[in-house]
Amino acid sequence: NDVSLREQSIVLIGFMGVGKTTIGKAVAKKLYRDFIDIDEEIEKKYNMPTSEIFNLYGERIFRQTEKDMIIDSCKQKLKIISVGGGAFLQDEVREACMSHCIIFFLDLSWDSWKERISLLIDSRPVLQGKNIDQIKQLFYNRQPIYEEHHSRVVTDNLPVDEVADYITESLK
Ligand code: S3P
Pocket of ligand 1 (CB under 6 A): 16-17, 20, 39, 50, 84-86, 124-126
Beta bridge partners of 81: 11, 36
Atom 8 (ligand 1) nearest CA: 84
Residue 112's SS3 state is: helix
Atom 7 (ligand 1) nearest CA: 86
What does the alpha-carbon distance between residue 169 and residue 65 come to, in Å, rounded to a whole number? 33
Which tens digit of pLDDT belongs to each residue from 116-136?
A: 999 999 999 999 999 999 999
CATH number of 5-152: 3.40.50.300
Residue 6's pLDDT band (boundaries 50, 70, 90)? confident
**Residue extents of the structural domains in the chain:** 5-152
Which tens digit of pLDDT belongs to each residue from 86-124?
A: 999 999 999 999 999 999 999 999 999 999 999 999 999
Beta bridge partners of 12: 82, 104
Mutate to test the pocket of ligand 1, among 11, 12, 21, 39 (most ligand atoms within 8 A of CB): 39
